[in-house]
C-alpha cells in the first residue's frame, strides 16, 4: 500500500470526512467553511467531549467510535499533537489525512509521514491550507469562491500562492481539477513528484501547474518525474530574488546552496520539458495557451 500512485480523495467513493480537534476558534471556522462548501462531515474527534456536539457536528473521543468509518480526516491538533493524531489515523487505515498545523517538530513530522506512508495513507501537510476539489468539496481552508471547476491540477507549496493562483486562474476563465496546498515545511507527507505520478492516469486532469519554493531539492525529483510526462506541466518557483541563508516564511524556504536557489531549480525544470513561468501572470497565460480557458 505504501507505493500508492493515486490520489485517494479523487476516487469515486463518497467522502466521509472527520475532523480532529474541531473545537478551537480557528478549527471551528474551518469546519463551518467545509460544511458551507458541501463537504460531508461524519463527526469530530475531541477527547473528553464524546457524546456531545458542536454546531450540529457529533463529537467522539476516538476515530474508532465513529458510526461511519471516515476515509478522510482533517487534523487541527496543535503542532505538538500532530504526530499522535496522524498515528491514530494510520491505525484506522484512513486513506487521506490533512494536517493543518505549522511548526510541527521535524522529528515528529518524519515519524508521522513514515507512519502514514506505511499505512497507505496520503498525508497532506503538515503546514497546509488543504485541498479544494471544485464540484466535490473542501478539505481545509482553500477559498471555494476563488476556484472554478476545470481540468488544470494546481499543486503548490505556499498557501498564499495557492490562493493567488486559484483566483487569477478563475478570473482568466481557467478551471481547476484540484487546488492543493501540499505543505510548506521541509518535511511533508507526500512530495510534489508523487502528486505528478498520481495525476498521470487521472482522465479529468489535462495539465498540471506546479509552484515550488526555494530551499530543499523537491523540485529536482519533480523534474525527473516530468520527463516524458504525457500531459503539459507548467512550473514556477517563487523566491527568485531571495538572499542565501535567509529563511523566507516557511521552514523549507531557505537557500542553503546554489542548487536550492529558484534559478537552479527553474533551469532543471525547463531541461525536463516543463513550461517554466517567472510569475503568476505568466503561468496563467501559459495555461490559457493550452486551451484550458472555458469557451
> What cell does 205 get?
486532469
CA distances from 74 to 160, 217, 269, 279, 295 (A): 20, 27, 32, 31, 36
- What distance in Å separates the CA atoms of residue 103 and residue 261, rounded to the nearest whole number? 23
> Which fold would CATH assign to domain 8-124?
Rossmann fold (3.40.50)
> What cell does 175 get?
478551471
The pLDDT value given to residue 249: 52
- What distance in Å separates the CA atoms of residue 88 and residue 75, rounded to the nearest whole number? 11
DSSP state of 197: H
Superfamily of domain 130-289: Succinyl-CoA synthetase domains (3.40.50.261)
Q: What angle, rounded to 10 degrees, do the helices at 192-199 and 218-226 form? A: 20
- What distance in Å separates the CA atoms of residue 155 and residue 7, rounded to the nearest whole number? 12
Classify strands 122-124 and 96-99 as parallel, antiparallel or unpaired.
Answer: parallel
Rounded to two decimals, the pTM is 0.92
- What distance in Å separates the CA atoms of residue 115 and residue 109, rounded to the nearest whole number? 10
The pLDDT value given to residue 276: 97
The pLDDT value given to residue 3: 44
250 assigned to active site: yes
Give the residue from 1, 4, 122 showing the smallest Cα distance to 72.
Answer: 122
Give the residue from 228, 225, 193, 210 showing the smallest Cα distance to 266.
Answer: 210
CA distances from 206 to 59, 174, 202, 234, 282 (A): 40, 12, 8, 12, 19
Secondary structure of residue 109 in the 3-state scheme: helix
CB within 8 Å of 29: residues ≥ 6 apart = none
Averaged pLDDT in 10-residue chunks for the chain of 295 residues: 73 97 97 97 97 97 96 98 98 98 96 97 98 97 98 97 97 98 95 97 97 90 96 90 50 59 92 96 97 81
Domains 8-124 and 130-289 share a fold: yes
Query: E strands within the chain?
Result: 17-20, 41-45, 53-54, 57-60, 72-75, 96-99, 122-124, 130-133, 137-140, 149-156, 176-181, 207-213, 233-238, 275-276
> Among all chains, which residue has been given the C-alpha cell 498520481?
198
Among candidate residues 193, 197, 241, 250, the one labeled active-site is 250
Q: What does the domain layout of the chain look like in residue ranges?
A: 8-124, 130-289
Amino acid at each position: 500500500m505504501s507505493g500508492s500512485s493515486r490520489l485517494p480523495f479523487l476516487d469515486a467513493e463518497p467522502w466521509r470526512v472527520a475532523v480532529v480537534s474541531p473545537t478551537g476558534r480557528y478549527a471551528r471556522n474551518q469546519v463551518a467553511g467545509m460544511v458551507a462548501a458541501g463537504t460531508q462531515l461524519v463527526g469530530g474527534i475531541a477527547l473528553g467531549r464524546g457524546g456531545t456536539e458542536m454546531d450540529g457536528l457529533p463529537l467522539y473521543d476516538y476515530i474508532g467510535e465513529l458510526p461511519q468509518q471516515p476515509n478522510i480526516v482533517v487534523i487541527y491538533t496543535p503542532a505538538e499533537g500532530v504526530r499522535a493524531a496522524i498515528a491514530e489515523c494510520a491505525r484506522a487505515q484512513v486513506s487521506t489525512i490533512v494536517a493543518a498545523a505549522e511548526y510541527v517538530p521535524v522529528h515528529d513530522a518524519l515519524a508521522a509521514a513514515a507512519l502514514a506512508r506505511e499505512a497507505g495513507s496520503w498525508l497532506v501537510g503538515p503546514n497546509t491550507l488543504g485541498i479544494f476539489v471544485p464540484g466535490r468539496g473542501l478539505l481545509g481552508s482553500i477559498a471555494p469562491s476563488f476556484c472554478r471547476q476545470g481540468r488544470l491540477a494546481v499543486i503548490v507549496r505556499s498557501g498564499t500562492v495557492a490562493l493567488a493562483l486559484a483566483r487569477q486562474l478563475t478570473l482568466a476563465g481557467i478551471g481547476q481539477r484540484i487546488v492543493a496546498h501540499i505543505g510548506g515545511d521541509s518535511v511533508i507527507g507526500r512530495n510534489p513528484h508523487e502528486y505528478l505520478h498520481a495525476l498521470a492516469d487521472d482522465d479529468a486532469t489535462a495539465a498540471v501547474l506546479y509552484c515550488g519554493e526555494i530551499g530543499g531539492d523537491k523540485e529536482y525529483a519533480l523534474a525527473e518525474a516530468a520527463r516524458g510526462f504525457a500531459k503539459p506541466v507548467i512550473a514556477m518557483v517563487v523566491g527568485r530574488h531571495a538572499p542565501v541563508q535567509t529563511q523566507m516564511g516557511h521552514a523549507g524556504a531557505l537557500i542553503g546552496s546554489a542548487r536550492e536557489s529558484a534559478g537552479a531549480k527553474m533551469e532543471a525544470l525547463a531541461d525536463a520539458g516543463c513550461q517554466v513561468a517567472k510569475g503568476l501572470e505568466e503561468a496563467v497565460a501559459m495555461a490559457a495557451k493550452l486551451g484550458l480557458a472555458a469557451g
